[in-house]
């Protein structure tokens, strides 16, 4: 029997977000939105889901007078992503 894929990461946008964050120290909201092509509202919702699961940290602040949201992947998120990739590998061997 195949191991189930993490439903949180199996969403296309959430997987894209984590895939971006796995390769960088941090990424801001505008960069993630540009790279994923997501709307600001949808991206906000998906970032919130990932944050509540402990997969990412979200820091809100300002750069000068402009609001800035910065995201970082957590150790929990790294482990979840590694498990997701490994599970996909087992699917490919079937």
Taking the domains of the chain in order of start, what are their residue ranges?
26-93
CA neighbor of 4 nearest in space, from 86, 93, 66: 86
Query: pLDDT of 11-39, one tens digit each?
Result: 999 999 999 999 999 999 999 999 999 99
Q: Does domain 26-93 have CATH number 1.10.10.10?
A: yes
Residue 87: Cβ within 10 Å count: 16
- In the chain, what percentage of residues exceed pLDDT 70? 99
Question: For the whole model, what pTM was predicted?
Answer: 0.93
Percent of the chain with pLDDT over 90: 93
- How far, in Å, are 31, 48, 85 from residue 35 at the CA level? 6, 18, 21
Given a contact cutoff of 8 angstroms between Cβ atoms, the answer to whether 71 and 28 are in contact is: yes
Question: In this model, does residue 94 exceed pLDDT 70?
Answer: no
């Amino acid at each position: 029997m195949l191991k189930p894929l993490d439903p949180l990461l199996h969403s296309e946008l959430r997987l894209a977000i984590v895939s971006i964050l796995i390769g960088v120290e941090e990424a801001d909201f505008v960069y993630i939105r540009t790279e994923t092509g997501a709307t600001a509202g949808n991206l906000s919702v998906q970032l919130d889901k990932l944050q509540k699961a402990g997969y990412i940290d979200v820091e809100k602040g300002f750069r000068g007078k402009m609001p800035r949201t910065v995201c970082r992947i957590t150790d929990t998120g790294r482990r979840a992503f590694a498990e997701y990739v490994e599970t996909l590998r087992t699917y490919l061997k079937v």
